Amino acid sequence: MADGKEDIKGIVSRFKDEPAMERMPEGEPRGRPREKVIDSYSFLSENIPVEVSIEMRGDFVPFYMVSIPGIAGGTKLLLETKLRGELITEVKLDITEILDPKKVPAVKRKFEEAAAKVLKKNFPMLPEDKQRILASYLVQSTLGLGELETPLHDDFLEEIAVNNSNEPVWIFHKKHGWCKTNIRLKDEEQIYDFSSLVARKVGRQINTLTPLLDAHLPTGDRVNATLFPVSNFGNTLIIRKFSKNPWTITNLIRGQTITAEVAAMVWLCVQNELSLLVAGGTGSGKTSFLNALAGLIPASHRIVSIEDTRELTLPAFLHWVPMVTREPNPEGKGEITMLDLMVNALRQRPDRIIVGEVRRQKEAEILFEAMHTGHSVYATLHADNTEQTISRLTNPPINIPEEMLDALAGVVVQFRHRRFNLRRTLEFAEVHKNGEYNVVYRWDAKTDKTPKVGRASRIAEILNLYSGLTEREIEENIWEKADVLNWMVRNGYESVNEVGSIVSRYYLNPDEVLASVKKNERWVF
């Protein structure tokens, strides 16, 4: 472009490693792309080696081809019919033992030992390494979700969706978005069996009278299931995977979700106990950002987190009490709501309160009351920008008085561009009195930059009042923190404990950390 700015097409080429369509040879029909492998990798599903190939096969979406080397279709059939029955006969267990989350490791060990015996009896000449693989597969198909167990162990997947037995299973890939797979469940009864198994594990049920299930597994994965005819095309089962490698602020910087400067501004707010809301649409990365933000809290502070599902993972050394809601039992008793936990949290003498998501008026009222009584609060809210965030807070159903909003220091807005499969921090804004706001940083889609578009006057005023920092000192502090963050990114410090350890050391002895940053030295943990 003449002005030197890159247009959206140029940005997209960097956002997504999506190869261009190959030129068709002469004589071949046009309008249909050729089959092409766009990605491939392998992983372990417990002891089972798995290979994945992601291909374009003339469809509008990628095709996720998963295979287990050494286990062909005939072997699978034998394992799932004859040997699975032998295994169940071999292990003497009560159903309550199988469904008890605390006994899962012991039950699994018994099944693994029994599976080894069954395989040795049927395949005496089988090498030991192959026997281990077949034993793991047999145990997975007996205790788990059969064909779905393999993609459940792929760390690149966020979601696994079974829409019915007539079409393939779909997955949501972190890099390639929604993909069809070569996995297909045999009938509607099998989908129901898997849904019923999940329900029993969490003390729930799904049947004709209660055809909807929303549950959370002990592993943290969230499961939603529906039965026909509520879902017209057949029974459904959707599993949202719990991330085993939680997001940190350096993950987000490396992935270009946020710039080091904006991250440093957020860090400054967290360090000085200013309350923040993380807003954004569905799938924009609100909870991921909340997790990254929580890793910046000092180790000397007591933290209470409140969630519908355990999604947050904080550094192991933090003073942290995680709490989760509870659904009522089949008789409608025993429910623990978000509101119950928020009221209880205020009695636990927390320095920081983290709330998974604010949805109702009473929850918001207690949240802002906590801010006004001196607690630092961080929470998420569904809204597409700062203006919508303020509007949602001050209108029904939340309906918080505008006068209460002055306890909130800032809003971080997360944005997901579905077309280009990217996530960005759209805005960082400070909140003024009576619901007025001022956007300090805003993402520019043309340049894929997040320039400073305003002056953080109210945050500067608060920091000056309570910390004695001048505007110049605030600016220098932000650049200092940005240098630390960039150094962590360069050196690959991205795990929750690594980032948390360096941040906590910075609070105790900033000169020690800054010396390593200046010399670009590796950090000794």
pLDDT digits (tens, 9 = 90+) for 411-426: 999 999 877 778 999 9
**Tokens 């089972």 belong to residue:** 48
Q: In Å, how far are 57, 173, 243, 319 from 60, measured between CA atoms?
A: 8, 15, 28, 48
pLDDT at 12: 36
Structure tokens at 35: 């089959």
pLDDT at 3: 44
Amino acid at 365: E
CB atoms within 10 A of CB 335: 11
The pLDDT confidence band at residue 507, using thresholds 50, 70 and 90, is very high
CB atoms within 10 A of CB 371: 20
Domain extent listing, the chain: 73-186, 249-519
The pLDDT confidence band at residue 480, using thresholds 50, 70 and 90, is very high
pLDDT at 56: 93
CATH number of 249-519: 3.40.50.300
Phi, psi of 36 (to 5 degrees): -155, 135
The pLDDT confidence band at residue 46, using thresholds 50, 70 and 90, is confident
**Residue pair 431/408 in contact by the 8 Å Cβ criterion:** yes
Rounded (to 5) percent helix, strand, coil in the chain: 40, 20, 40
Give the neighbor-by-neighbor strand order of the sheet with 376-382. Answer: 319-324, 302-307, 352-355, 376-382, 276-280, 410-417, 422-431, 437-442
User: Which of 9-18, 27-36, 210-219: highest mean pLDDT?
Assistant: 210-219
pLDDT at 18: 40
Is 60 exceeded by the pLDDT of residue 456?
A: yes
Q: How far apart are CA 247 and CA 64, in angstroms?
A: 25
Span 135-151, average pLDDT: 85
Residue in 266, 319, 259 with CA at minimum distance from that of residue 293: 266
**Residue pair 493/520 in contact by the 8 Å Cβ criterion:** no
Structure tokens at 157: 């997947």
Residue in 183, 188, 195 with CA at minimum distance from that of residue 147: 183
The pLDDT confidence band at residue 469, using thresholds 50, 70 and 90, is very high
Amino acid at 173: H
Residue in 368, 411, 374, 402 with CA at minimum distance from that of residue 276: 411
Give the rounded percent of residues in the chain with a pLDDT score beyond 70. 91
- Tell me the per-residue pLDDT of 319-351, one tens digit each, with 9 for 90 and over: 999 999 887 877 778 899 999 999 999 999 999
Phi, psi of 46 (to 5 degrees): 60, -115
- Tell me the per-residue pLDDT of 80-130, one tens digit each, with 9 for 90 and over: 777 877 877 777 766 666 666 677 778 788 888 888 888 888 888 878 888
Q: How far apart are CA 451 and CA 437, in angstroms?
A: 18
Span 139-164, average pLDDT: 90
pLDDT at 72: 72
Structure tokens at 490: 């360069």
The pLDDT confidence band at residue 34, using thresholds 50, 70 and 90, is low
pLDDT at 427: 97
**Residue pair 415/283 in contact by the 8 Å Cβ criterion:** no
**Tokens 């990254």 belong to residue:** 292
**Residue pair 252/258 in contact by the 8 Å Cβ criterion:** yes
Is 90 exceeded by the pLDDT of residue 38?
A: yes
pLDDT at 75: 72
Please, which residues have CB within 8 angstroms of residue 60's CB and are 6 or more apart in sequence? Answer: none
- The model's pTM is 0.79
Is 60 exceeded by the pLDDT of residue 8?
A: no
Is 60 exceeded by the pLDDT of residue 1?
A: no
Is 90 exceeded by the pLDDT of residue 394?
A: yes
H-type alpha helices, 205-337? 249-254, 260-271, 286-294
Span 302-310, average pLDDT: 91
Q: How far apart are CA 107 and CA 371, in angstroms?
A: 46
Extended strands (E) in 46-194: 48-56, 63-67, 157-162, 170-173, 177-181
Q: How far apart are CA 260 and CA 253, in angstroms?
A: 6
Q: How far apart are CA 273 and CA 292, in angstroms?
A: 16
pLDDT at 17: 42
pLDDT at 6: 43
Amino acid at 493: Y
Q: How far apart are CA 234 and CA 111, in angstroms?
A: 32
- Tell me the per-residue pLDDT of 220-234, one tens digit each, with 9 for 90 and over: 788 999 999 999 999
Span 393-414, average pLDDT: 94
Structure tokens at 153: 């162990």
Is 80 exceeded by the pLDDT of residue 462?
A: yes
pLDDT at 25: 42
Structure tokens at 152: 């459940």
> Across the chain, what does the average pLDDT equal?
87
Span 138-142, average pLDDT: 82
pLDDT at 216: 77
Extended strands (E) in 301-355: 302-307, 319-324, 352-355
pLDDT at 243: 74
Is 80 exceeded by the pLDDT of residue 265?
A: yes
Q: In Å, how far are 155, 240, 465 from 171, measured between CA atoms?
A: 12, 10, 51
Span 178-189, average pLDDT: 95
Span 192-210, average pLDDT: 88
Span 459-470, average pLDDT: 94
- Widest pairwise Cα distance in the chain: 78
**Residue pair 98/197 in contact by the 8 Å Cβ criterion:** no
| Between residues 91 and 15, the one the model is more confident about | 91
**Residue pair 232/357 in contact by the 8 Å Cβ criterion:** no
Q: How far apart are CA 222 and CA 471, in angstroms?
A: 45
Segment holding 113, helix H or strand E: helix 104-122
Is 70 exceeded by the pLDDT of residue 16?
A: no
Please, which residues have CB within 8 angstroms of residue 281's CB and are 6 or more apart in sequence? Answer: 382, 383, 384, 415, 416
- Tell me the per-residue pLDDT of 62-77, one tens digit each, with 9 for 90 and over: 999 999 887 777 777 7
pLDDT at 201: 79
User: Per residue in 80-119, is it b (16+ CB within 10 Å) or e — as a string?
Assistant: beebbebbeeebeeeeeebeeeeebeebeebbbebbbebb
Q: How far apart are CA 357 and CA 339, in angstroms?
A: 11
| Between residues 451 and 141, the one the model is more confident about | 451
Q: How far apart are CA 346 and CA 97, in angstroms?
A: 37
pLDDT at 20: 35
Assign residue 448 a region (left: φ > 0; alpha: ψ between -120 and 50; beta: otherwise). Answer: left
Least confident of 5-19, 199-213, 355-369, 372-386: 5-19
